[in-house]
Every structure is written in structure tokens, then in C-alpha cells.
């Protein structure tokens, strides 16, 4: 069923450790063409991508992916609607161009369809990936944690039409946590492990699994990983005391994270996620430390303290710092005085 198969395309030659962007451009005059890319040999397991060219795409396709040095096979499956014929002499134009990847931290490296071939995901960085198939293209990433702490994973897919499951597994493949990221809210969601009363995530190698469901083929997503050694909040002058905060008292929030991360603090409503105390009310004393002073009419119960960590690329993690806090500035009502 393959109308044309180009000679093997060798990306990178002997430049070991490099990665390359491969750009495919294809135009035709009628029918539909499935452009499939494989690494080393043609099989379902070796397939690393696919795109369709048809009247809906104005008979033109442009597709890019990043890959490690290897031999790649490109298969063109051409069909003519309503005829049942394959190919039938349909003219087409096809070109391939290759350019080096300048920053491996920023791109998904195909193929990464199994844990053993997972793409490295550096801490406090983000990476761009593509779901070339809306349900079958499962991507794996590897996160290395060098000390106990808090791991935050976030996924966004602004043009998403389906949903995406984000799963974290340990080195043995055991699931640690997962979250389903729906299509609403720009398909944005996150998973946090090791905060609050939960035990910290231990040092080791972890696998992040990205599983799209009913997604648009070729949909792009951004995956980010952030790490903090610890995060806590406490009443200034009375560490360890748990009670409602009173007028004039200070809450100190501390996040032990990389010093090059920008840090802001907020307090949000646990139910509505609305901001109760904005970042402007926090005074940042040192890197990763902020203080909030309770003012008149500050009254809320069971609110959540949030630390926003932002990297050099402008990607932000929203770290929830347990446990909930209550502020009570309402003076007591004295109904009677006796002696």
C-alpha cells in the first residue's frame, strides 16, 4: 500500500549526542496522502509520527519533529477517494530539510514511545512535545531527582480538543500519581508530589507519561517540571503554633528552591481558587521567603497558601503549601460585664 518510499534519510551522521529538526513539506493535486515516519525500520513500534494531506489541508502538509541521529524511513500512502485505487499516478512534490537542535532541553526527542526511550526532562525547565496521533501517540519523559523534596509537573495544550492524562511512575514502573487534564481551561493541569503531610519524593529516576485521548493529530503541548527541597508557612514568633491568625500578626512563607527562580506568594480560596491575598500584600525578605501581615477585615477560613515559581522562559509552577490557614480579625462581642 506504499505509493512511494524515499531512500533512507540519515540525520546527523556521526555527530553523536546531537539532535536535529526534520522538516517535511508535501503538496499534491488531489486525493489524500498519509505521511508516516519510522526510525530504522518500518513497523508500528518504530513509527514516530504521521500527518495527513487532503483537501481539508488544501493539499499541503508541513510537519516538523526533533530526533536523534539515526536512519529514518518516510512512507507515503496515497489514495484517491471514491475510486478504491492507490496512487494512480497522482503528481506530488516532496522535500526534506534538516537543521540542528540548539537546545535539547526544549524539545521532545522522537522516538519516545516507551519508558526505555524517554526524553530527558530537566528540572525547572519546560519542554515542547507533539501528539502526532490523537489517541495512540503516548510520550515518555525522564525526570532525575537528586534529593528528597517536592516535584511539580504541569501540562498545557492551548489548542487541545480532547483531554490528556499525566502520569508519574517510579523507576520500577509503579504509578505514584496521575491527573486527567480536560479540554477546558486551555487544557492546563498539574500534578504535585511530596508537599504537606505527604512524604517527600525520594531521589531517583522517574518517568512521566503523556497519554492523549481524542486529541487533534499534531496537537502541541508544553510539559514543565519544577522542584523544591521544602515549602512551609508559619506564624512569625510562634513557630509550630496552629491557630487562626489575628490582626497585626505575620505569616512567613518559605520555599527552598533554585535561587534563579522568581518567587511570588498568594493566598487563595480552597473551593473557588479565587485570590484572597494577592502577591502585592507579601513582603519578600530574602530569596524564597515572603511575609504577610494580617490587616483589618482580613477574614477567611481554610485558605491555601500558593508559591508561584517562574523560570527564565516565563513558565510558572503553582506550588500548594499545606496546611490550610484561617484568619480572624473580627473582635469578640461582649454581651455583659459583671464583677
Per-residue pLDDT tens digits of the chain, which is 339 residues long:
333 344 555 444 433 345 677 777 888 777 778 888 888 888 877 888 888 787 777 677 777 778 777 788 888 887 765 554 545 566 778 888 887 777 656 888 888 888 988 999 999 999 999 898 888 889 999 999 999 999 999 999 988 889 999 999 999 999 999 999 988 777 899 999 987 667 899 999 999 999 999 998 888 899 999 999 999 999 999 888 889 999 999 999 999 999 999 999 999 999 999 999 999 999 998 889 999 999 999 999 999 999 999 998 889 999 999 789 999 988 778 888 998
In whole angstroms, what is the distance from residue 39 CA to residue 74 CA? 9
| Secondary structure E strands in 236-338 | 250-257, 262-268, 275-277, 282-286, 289-293, 300-310, 316-327
Dist. CA 228–CA 243, nearest whole Å: 26
Which element (helix H / strand E) includes 212? Answer: strand 204-213
Model-wide pTM > 0.85 = no
Among 101, 111, 102, 33, which residue's Cα sits nearest to residue 71? 111
Beta bridge partners of 175: 169
C-alpha cell at 207: 518517568
For residue 96, list its beta bridge partners.
Answer: 24
- Give CA–CA dist 311/317, Å, rounded: 9
CA 257, CA 18: separation in Å to the nearest integer? Answer: 30
Maximum distance among all Cα pairs of the chain, rounded to whole angstroms: 107
Give Cα 13 distance to the centre of its chain.
31
Grid cell listed for 158:
492551548
Instruction: List C-alpha distances in Å: 203 to 26, 149, 291.
Output: 46, 8, 30
Residue with cell 481539508: 56
Q: CA–CA separation, 293 vs 281, rounded Å?
A: 8
Enter the DSSP assignment of 299. Answer: -
**Pairing assessment for the beta strands 139-145 and 163-169 based on DSSP bridges:** unpaired
Q: Give backbone dihedrals phi and psi of 55, rounded to 5 degrees, phi first.
A: -55, -30
Amino acid at each position: 500500500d506504499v505509493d512511494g518510499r524515499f531512500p533512507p534519510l540519515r540525520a546527523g551522521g556521526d555527530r553523536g549526542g546531537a539532535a536535529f529538526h526534520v522538516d517535511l513539506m508535501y503538496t499534491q493535486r488531489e486525493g489524500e496522502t498519509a505521511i508516516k515516519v519510522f526510525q530504522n525500520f518500518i513497523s508500528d513500534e518504530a513509527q514516530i509520527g504521521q500527518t495527513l494531506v487532503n483537501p481539508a489541508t488544501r493539499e499541503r502538509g508541513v510537519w516538523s519533529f526533533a530526533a536523534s541521529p539515526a536512519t529514518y524511513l518516510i512512507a507515503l500512502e496515497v489514495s484517491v477517494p471514491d475510486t478504491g485505487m492507490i496512487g494512480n499516478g497522482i503528481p506530488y512534490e516532496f522535500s526534506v530539510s534538516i537543521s540542528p537542535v540548539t537546545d535539547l532541553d526544549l524539545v521532545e526527542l522522537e522516538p519516545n514511545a516507551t519508558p526505555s526511550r524517554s526524553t530527558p526532562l530537566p528540572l525547572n525547565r519546560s519542554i515542547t512535545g507533539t501528539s502526532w496521533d490523537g489517541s495512540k501517540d503516548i510520550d515518555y519523559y525522564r525526570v532525575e531527582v537528586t534529593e528528597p523534596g517536592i516535584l511539580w509537573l504541569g501540562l498545557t495544550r492551548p489548542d487541545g480538543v480532547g483531554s490528556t492524562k499525566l502520569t508519574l511512575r517510579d523507576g520500577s514502573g509503579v504509578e505514584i500519581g496521575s491527573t486527567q487534564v480536560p479540554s477546558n481551561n486551555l487544557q492546563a493541569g498539574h500534578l504535585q508530589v511530596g508537599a504537606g503531610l505527604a512524604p517527600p519524593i525520594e531521589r531517583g529516576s522517574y518517568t512521566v507519561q503523556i497519554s492523549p485521548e481524542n486529541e487533534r493529530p499534531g496537537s502541541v503541548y508544553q510539559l514543565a517540571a519544577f522542584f523544591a527541597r521544602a515549602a512551609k508557612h508559619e506564624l512569625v514568633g510562634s513557630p509550630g503554633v496552629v491557630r487562626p491568625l489575628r490582626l497585626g500578626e505575620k505569616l512567613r512563607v518559605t520555599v527552598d528552591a533554585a535561587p534563579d527562580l522568581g518567587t511570588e506568594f498568594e493566598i487563595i480560596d480552597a473551593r473557588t481558587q479565587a485570590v484572597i491575598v494577592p502577591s502585592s500584600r507579601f513582603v519578600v525578605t530574602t530569596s524564597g521567603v515572603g511575609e504577610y501581615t494580617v490587616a483589618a477585615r482580613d477574614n477567611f477560613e481554610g485558605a491555601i497558601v500558593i508559591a508561584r515559581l517562574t523560570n527564565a522562559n516565563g513558565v510558572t509552577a503553582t506550588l500548594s503549601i499545606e496546611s490550610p490557614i484561617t484568619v480572624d480579625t473580627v473582635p469578640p462581642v461582649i454581651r455583659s460585664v459583671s464583677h
